[in-house]
Amino acid sequence: MDIFSIVLTLTTAGMIMLIMSTIDHAIYWPKRLSQNLPTPTWIEGLPYYSMLALSTSVFYYTSADHVITLWACVFGCITLLDKLYFFKTRLSHFPNMKASTYKQASQDSQFGQDYLNQTSPWIKLSHEFFVSTFVLWLLISFFVHPYRVPTGSLQPTIDPGDMLIAKKWSYGIRMPLSNHLIWSWNGQPKRGDIAIFSDPSTDSYRTLVKRVIGLPGDKISYIDKQLTINDQPVEVNSLGIEYNFDHAGQLETVIRKVESLPNKTHEIFVKPSANDKQVIDLVVPDGHYFMMGDNRDASSDSRYFGPVPFDKIGGQAWLIWMSIDPYSWKIRWDRIGINLT
C-alpha cells in the first residue's frame, strides 16, 4: 500500500468517525444528559481519533505547522466557548457544587462524575489538550520546524526518511503559516547552509529542503556538472563509485564526490550516465538565494524553479532527530543526532 492510499484510508476513517460523533451529539447525547448517564468509552474516543486521522491528510498536503495550528484553533475555540457559555450552563445543574473552573468541577469529590457526564467529549478533549497544543504551536511557529525528507535530493548528506529539525530563528522571526518576517537581525542564509523553504514554483504549502549555493549578487553557472561561483570553478574531488537507490527504489550508479564551497566542504552524488537537463548561467537577484540538492542529478532545485526569495525561506536545518528507512520501515539509529549545521 502506497502513502497516498494510507492517507486516503485514514482521511475516510476520520470523516466517518466525525460523522458518528456528530450523530451521537444530535440524537443520543441529549438522551444520556436527561438520564445523567456516562458516555460510552468508544464514543469518548471519537473526537480524538477523528482529529488524528484527519490531521494526516492536512499533513500530507501542507505541513506539520498546519496540523498543529488546526489542533490549537479547534481546541482553543471550543475551550473559549465552554468558558464563556457551556461551563456556566452545566454548573447551573449543580447548585451545591463550589467550582469556578472546569478542572475544579471535574475533580469535585461529590459531583465530579455527574458533572463529567454532562460534558461533551469534544469539550473534555479540548480542555485536556489545549494548553499542551498551544505551547507546541508556539514552539513550532517561532522556534523549530519538524520536516520529514521524502526524497533523496540531498543525498548523501540527508537520506529519504530522515526527519530533521530546522531552526526557524536562524533567519529572523516570522508570522506562522504566512512566513511574513516580523523581526530580523544579521541572520542571513550563508553559503553551504541547508535551508528549508516554501516551493517558489507554486502557491502550495509544499516545503523543500536544499543547500544554499548562491548568495544575492553571485554569478552562478552549472555546465557539464561543473559548478562555478563568481567565475571561480568550485573544487570537486572524487571518492569513488557507489550504488544508490533512486526515487523509484531502483539501484543506480553514482559517483561520490567532495565539493569545496568557499566556506564549506560537503559531499555530493553525481550520476555519470545523466546529462545536464538545465544549463545554468545567471546572476542571483537581490534578496534571493540559489539552492541546489547534493544529489545533483536527482534534485529539482533552483536550476528549474529559479533563485528563492528570502521571504520564502523558513529556517536552517539543524539536526536529524529520527530516521526511518522508507523501504524496510526500520529505524536507522546511526543517523539520529547527526548535526546538519
Nearest to residue 171, comparing CAs of 156, 185, 151? 185
* Residues 322, 164 contacting (CB under 8 angstroms): no
CB atoms within 10 A of CB 306: 17
153 class by beta-carbon count within 10 Å (0-12 exposed, 13-18 middle, 19+ buried): buried
- Annotated active-site residue 153? The verdict is yes
Pick left, alpha or beta for residue 230 (phi over 0 → left; psi -120 to 50 → alpha; otherwise beta). Answer: left
CA atoms of 121 and 44, how far apart (whole Å): 5
CA atoms of 331 and 8, how far apart (whole Å): 25
Helices first, then strands: H and E counts in the chain = 10, 16
170, 210, 257, 323: the catalytic one is 210
Q: Which three cell numbers stand for residue 221?
A: 553557472
CA atoms of 292 and 64, how far apart (whole Å): 24
CB atoms within 10 A of CB 228: 15
Q: Where are the alpha helices (DSSP H) in the chain?
A: 3-23, 29-35, 41-44, 46-61, 64-81, 87-91, 102-106, 112-117, 121-142, 302-305
Residue type at position 237: N
21, 141, 153, 198: the catalytic one is 153
- Annotated active-site residue 34? The verdict is no
Catalytic residues: 153, 210
